[in-house]
Structure 1
Amino acid sequence: MLGPAAIRELAQQLDLRPTKTLGQNFLHDANTIRRIVRTAGVRPDDVVLEVGPGLGSLTLGLLPAAARVTAVEIDPRLAALLPATVAARRPDLADRLAVVEADALRVTELPGPPPTALVANLPYNVAVPVLLTLLELLPTLDRAMILVQAEVAERLAAAPGAPAYGVPSVKAAWYGEVRRAGSVGRRVFWPEPNVDSGLVGLVRRPPPPGDRQATFAVVDAAFAMRRKGLRAALARWAGSPAAAETRLRAAGIDPAARGEQLSVTDFARLAATEPVQP
């Protein structure tokens, strides 16, 4: 794996100055990498999708544990360097790696067999949309283990009624059971970020009955005015406060409740109610 000195040496080769725009904070602690791979439960037959492999620290930790690693990297310099890094350090595993130079938010297909697990140190600024986009695009992903900003980890794994519960919590829960899987300090990165990080695990399960887009539209509306009761918060979505109340009651939901009290199943049931004619 790549320690601090190796990380800096590779960055110097590329004349690379990590940017906040791309969320470039590179892992360099071998124990943290082993912990991520172990906690992710990577199996010998897994095809692992890694987003933002950077200089390759986590990639080198994943390759011995999985059948294949497909790494999606937006920075062309890093995408070009990664195969050479793996070939130099683990030539016996180089044939397990496929590198795709692309934006993970815009990728439409991947080479080789479909991925079964997402394991990634995700850029802080796009972590939630990347996770949700890939879970929707790739139904073969049955597990995820992502390293994200601690605050984002808390939001993703929050349960109904918790202070951090919100749009990311509900939308992630559409796809599976989400849990906090540990904390990671800032000193294991280069450059060192200003915040701590957290591991979030997701195990896919069938979504609740209903339409995803319709459900997500209700979720967005409910949390756009999260301090208000749902009768008021959903007035525009339903057409009027009275129409919102009618649909809430039809779904068995108290119109005075707030969005943070509802589970993803509640939102799906509400989205499936019949619109009220004006």
Structure 2
Amino acid sequence: MNLRPNKTFGQNFLKSQKVVMSMLNASNINENDIVLEIGPGKGILTEKLLTHAKKIIAIEKDTRLVEYLKEKFKKEIDKGTLTLLEGDILDFEPKSADLDKNPYKIVANIPYYITGAILKKFLETEHQPEIITILVQKEVARRIVGIEKRRKKAKPRPAGAVARSPERRFRESILSISVKAYGMPTYVEKVPARLFSPAPKVDSAILSVRKISRDFFDTINETDFFKVLKAGFSHKRKLLMSNIKPLFNETEKSSIQTDKKEILSACALPDNSRAENLTLNDWKCLTKGINS
């Protein structure tokens, strides 16, 4: 059977058992857990999950791999500890696999090109997982968690030159704020490209999102929050004040300007604020102010 990685599906098969165990440990997998695995590939993660969890639901889009996994895990499928589904994870509904009835966790080596779509789908779904632990591109994991890049060693400056203030390298994004609104993202560890087949062009990392819930939205409307967030990031080069202008219903420009300044001031934000510099709680404050 031809099991060469399919570029169309973004396949990079994990080869490291050490990384597999790190993913299980980050997810606190135990014998009572139900785990959803996305893109099981050749089954290196599936195999280990089966020895630690109660039940695995694995969804694979590649028909070749589905047939391979059916043979490899025939015993577990017959026993009922593994449910193997063929399909696209973005079309999958937790309810279809009875994941609406019991708590579940997601542990997966996902296609990197749908990282954002997968996080959005399972963080916003009605039946959220308890934990999401996935392999993603290293820089994506760093940006979501908020780890600043290491600064390069500064070049010697001429005598008498004024030193520039070091700039904060990390910036927030819609994705990073969205993830933090639902859970606590953690950068677990770096995974070198050589531990995959074929090796991707960049290193990866284990990202774990824990304590997933909607508690953040107890005092604000979820839809309103994302409306404000998307408006704030609508034009990266513009100031926040300009981006949120369409959210105000007043007809007089002077009134709009006054309201915007008052809201920013109430949230302790300067007039020249940019979306990328705001924290999660800043966005909550803005949402309350704009929708009050």
Regarding TM over 0.5, the answer is yes
User: Which piece of structure 1 moves more, 203-212 or 246-255?
Assistant: 246-255
What percent identity do the matched residue pairs reach? 29
- AA in 1 matched with 2:216: P
**Cα deviation digits, residues 156-214 of structure 1 (max 9, x gap):** 21279761421111000011111111100111111111110011111124224312222
Give the aligned partner of residue 110 of structure 1: 96
Alignment of 1:163-202 (within 5 A): 163-202=170-209
Structure 2 counterpart of 1:21: 8
| Stretch of structure 1 that moved more, 204-213 or 173-182 | 204-213
TM-score of the superposed pair, with normalisation by structure 2: 0.79
Give the whole-Å Cα distance in 2 for the aligned partners of 1:189 and 1:24: 10
Once the two structures are overlaid, the 10-residue window that deviates more, 31-40 or 175-184, is 31-40
Q: CA deviation at 1:93?
A: 8.9
- Are the aligned partners of 2:134 and 2:207 in contact in 1 as well (CA < 8 Å)? yes
**Secondary structure of the corresponding residue to residue 18 of structure 1:** coil
The verdict on how the C-alpha distance between 1:78 and 1:211 changes in structure 2, with shifts beyond 3 A counting, is farther
Distance 1:46 1:254, change over 3 A: same
Could you tell me which of 58, 79, 101 is aligned with 2:86?
101
Contact 1:156 1:178 in 2 (8 A): yes
Quote the offset at 1:228 in angstroms.
Answer: 3.2
TM-score (norm. length: structure 1)? 0.83
Q: What residue identity is the alignment partner of 1:179?
A: T
Q: How many residues align?
A: 261
Give per-residue Cα distances to partners, 1:207-227, cap 9 Å, x unaligned: 243122221222222223334
Q: Secondary structure at the match of 2:90?
A: coil
Aligned to 1:4: none
Unaligned runs of 5+ in 1: 1-12
The AA in structure 1 aligned to 2:59 is V
Structure label with greater radius of gyration: 2
Matches within 5 A, 1:1-278: 13=1, 15-87=2-74, 91=76, 95-108=80-93, 109-113=95-99, 114-137=102-125, 139-158=127-146, 163-203=170-210, 204-205=212-213, 206-208=215-217, 209-238=219-248, 242=257, 243-249=259-265, 251-274=267-290
Q: CA contact under 8 A between 2:42 and 2:65: conserved in structure 1? A: yes
Unaligned runs of 5+ in 2: 149-167
Residue 142 of structure 1 and its aligned partner are, at CA, apart by: 1.2
Distance 1:138 1:197 in 2: 29
Contact 2:33 2:54 in 1 (8 A): yes
In 1, Cα distance between equivalents of 2:271 and 2:89 = 39
Q: d(CA) in 1 for partners of 2:67 and 2:244?
A: 48
RMSD: 2.6
Q: Which residue of 1 aligns with 2:164?
A: none
